[in-house]
Amino acid sequence: MSDNKQEIQYFLFSQYFSDGMRITLEIILPAIILAQFGKLNLGLLMSTGALCVCLTDSPGPVEHKRNAMWYCLLFIFLMSLLTGFVNNNIYGMGLLILFSSFFFTMFSVFGTRAAALGTAALLVIVLRMDKVAPPMEVLFDSLLVLAGGLWYLLFALLFFKIYPYRPAQRLLGANLHEAAKFLRIKSALYDVTSNVTEEYRKLVAQQVVVNEKQDELRELLYKNRELIKDPTDTGKLLVVTFADVIDLYENIMATWYDYGLLRQRFGHTNILSDLSIVIQNLADEIDRIGLAIQSNNNYTKHYQLIPMLEALKIRIDAMEDPNNSNLVLKKILVNLRNLGDRTDELMNYFKAGAAAKRDLREDSDYSKFVSHQVISSSLFISNLSLQSSVFRHSLRMMITCLVGFIIAKLLPQAHHGYWILLTIIVILKPGFSLTRQRNYERLVGTIGGGIIGLLIIFYVHDRDALFGLIIFFMLGTYTFIRINYIVTVIFTTPYVLILFSLLGMGSIGVAEERLLDTGIASLLAFIGSYILFPHWESVQLESYMVKVLQANKNYLQQLAAYFSGQIHSQLEYKLVRKELYVSTANLSAAFQRMLSEPKSKQRSSQEIYEFVVLNHVLSSNIASLTASLTNKQQGMYAKEALQPVKKSITILQESLLQLDTSLPKDEFMAAGTNSLAANGAIDKQLTEQLNFINKVSGDIGKITQKIATKM
């Protein structure tokens, strides 16, 4: 199967495409139905309500979606009413925008779904601000907006009821798809023709994507009791398969080596290229399994790993050289066999009754793997300080929107000035780098989409064909809205231009207005993000680095506890592992954002990149060692095994104190170390692994010291 064909299939069976079709249908149906009775304007009002509510319909448990949509209905109705009552007075409207833009942006303290609710409330204000009407008409119009939102909510809940498992299946398939991409990048590290540094940068970026997908599915599964308690075992199968996916990813992470040294020692033998092919084949197998799960089809295993490994083992055994040990190549084969076993476990998803053989944890255990957002007035009030990034962003949004409103009112009366505010709300983000990226995407998308829209209007004159194109562009808009913003804008702009043309409101003039308003809003957002209480990633990186060090320290403590003979808790280990993945991905994402900020605002970029790499190498080697010990009986190890681990923990603790002096100066002591045999024997491979972990920890300590002196 070609990569392009598989990517297309993944897209067509994705949750994004499914949601795009559903959302398009829910938004456009009220307008279509009422247009048949000559009431298109009323239909557009209902579609406005549906559009606002759809913003809160982001991936997650149905209960959270439902609650958010109910609250959204309340807010859009109230804000539609309030806007209609004050928009005949420029000062009243200005005050409404001033306070609403601040208040609803502050909703971000309650999480991303609440932030979307705040955006929906601002959206209805902006879309209703230009229509001045008598009080009874304002009430009627607001009720239509409410009815449209209620229609969307009921249709969405019905869809979720009919297809309760499809979102989880699609997201599970997407998790495997991204894990396969991660493994393919790793395969390139064995290719002697590739650039190790460049491939590693790709690896760090892909790790962020993998973590995002895992978090989405973890939230969907572990906060949905109906899936866990599902009497048909379908929900249970999804939960246990996700656990297998996380274990698979750990095995992928564990396969880390000094690739420069590998190439130097074995590059001339072609063995590394053959290993790269084997890893690519494994990635393809994982990808095909993911597609089968996502498309809800059966799957038969394609790739047989063992014959390839046996052929490689014969070649490696024949390479015995006292001056060039091939032990590392044998270790790679072992890791690949383990990875193959993990891949085979995924096939249980397609076997009848497989879920019944697996035990689920208690609900309280699953709840530990997900965050729980507290909705309280005290949290809102506690963030009313310049120390809060949400508060600073809310002030920035308030000032920028007010300036945008003033500029809009200074433009000609016939101008659609609300586009300026709409664009500001969409592209102004908490961080400068994200705002700049949205600025670029909005401008390029508007220009590209405007050209497409005008060409269609000039050459297509059949109203039915134009209406069909509107549906097509709407489908593209709501499909890509959570994937690629620039593509979303390219689809949105023709859809708006064609709609205005059909309504007899012109086309070229509308395109010029849209481009002008986008330019004004982009400039305001850029200036606002740069000078109004700016949020620079370099300032935030220190906290991310502390979390990564703490997570790696906790990971090492799990290893030390294992060596010292303590009772090993799989639940605690997996919680520590999850926290490590999350903190590492967060640091990588923040570092990438910092690189897109002005050079004058960046600090220690080379040292921080080295810090990111070293911590990834450390966690990979801890995972590798842990995986090799899994099948061995836990017992008391020699001091020689425990001492390097304790030393590494001490180094990480010292590094933590260099970055954050407020942390407690605790010293880790593994229980049971006093009873260890003084002269216990450990094998050579274990010694090498422990010494390497200790060396990497030492390198982390050195680079942390460099970073701390510059901060």
Per-residue pLDDT of 612-626, as tens digits, reads: 888 888 888 888 777
Contacts by 152-156 with C-beta closer than 8 Å and gap 24+? 152/26, 152/27, 152/49, 152/50, 152/53, 152/54, 152/57, 152/69, 153/53, 153/66, 153/69, 153/70, 153/73, 155/22, 155/25, 155/26, 156/22, 156/26, 156/57, 156/65, 156/69
Hey, what are 387's tokens?
């120390």
Q: What pLDDT sits at residue 415?
A: 61
Q: CB-based contacts of 681: which residues, under 8 Å, 6+ apart? A: 638
Query: CA 205, CA 587: separation in Å to the nearest integer?
Result: 11
Closest C-alpha among 152, 173, 134, 138 to residue 14: 173
Does 640 have pLDDT greater than 80?
no
> Mean pLDDT throughout 343-370?
73
471-500 in b/e burial notation, b at 16+ Cβ within 10 A?
A: eebbbbbbbbbeeebbbbbbbbbbbbbbbb
The CB density around residue 671, as the number of other CB atoms within 10 Å, is 12
The alpha carbon of residue 276 and the mean position of all alpha carbons in its chain are separated, in whole angstroms, by 28
> Mean pLDDT throughout 135-153?
94
Based on C-alpha coordinates, what's the Rg of the chain? 28
Residue with the larger pLDDT of the pair 499 and 241: 241
The alpha carbon of residue 704 and the mean position of all alpha carbons in its chain are separated, in whole angstroms, by 27
SS3 state of residue 131: coil
The alpha carbon of residue 594 and the mean position of all alpha carbons in its chain are separated, in whole angstroms, by 17
Contact 408, 94 (CB under 8 A): no
| pTM of the predicted model as reported, rounded to 2 decimal places | 0.85
**Phi, then psi, of 138 in degrees rounded to 5:** -60, -45
Q: 2.50.20.10, 1.20.58.220, 1.10.579.10, 1.10.599.10: which CATH number matches 166-367?
A: 1.20.58.220
Q: What pLDDT sits at residue 229?
A: 66
Q: CB-based contacts of 102: which residues, under 8 Å, 6+ apart? A: 394, 395, 397, 398
Q: To 10 degrees, what angle do helices 62-86 and 135-162 make?
A: 170
> Mean pLDDT throughout 309-314?
88
Q: What pLDDT sits at residue 262?
A: 82
> Mean pLDDT throughout 470-487?
90
Closest C-alpha among 60, 15, 41, 67 to residue 148: 41
Q: What pLDDT sits at residue 158?
A: 92
Does 671 have pLDDT greater than 50?
no
Contact 491, 24 (CB under 8 A): no
Does 711 have pLDDT greater than 90?
no
Q: Which of 74-88, 424-438, 630-644 comes out lowest in average pLDDT?
A: 630-644
Q: Convert the pLDDT of each residue in 369-414 to its tens digit.
A: 777 767 788 888 988 888 888 899 999 999 999 999 999 888 776 5
Q: Find the length of the chain.
A: 711
Contact 101, 398 (CB under 8 A): yes
**Which DSSP string corresponds to 430-455?**
SSHHHHHHHHHHHHHHHHHHHHHHHH
Query: CA 508, CA 328: separation in Å to the nearest integer?
Result: 66
Contact 234, 385 (CB under 8 A): no
Residue with the larger pLDDT of the pair 489 and 711: 489
Q: What pLDDT sits at residue 679?
A: 39
SS3 state of residue 261: helix
> Mean pLDDT throughout 475-483?
89
**Phi, then psi, of 604 in degrees rounded to 5:** 50, 40
- Residue 131 is which amino acid? K
> Mean pLDDT throughout 658-674?
57
> Mean pLDDT throughout 36-48?
89
Does 675 have pLDDT greater than 50?
no
Domain borders along the chain are: 1-163, 166-367, 399-534, 537-673+680-710
Closest C-alpha among 355, 533, 508 to residue 435: 533
Query: CA 526, CA 531: separation in Å to the nearest integer?
Result: 9
Does 664 have pLDDT greater than 70?
no
Query: CA 620, CA 612: separation in Å to the nearest integer?
Result: 12
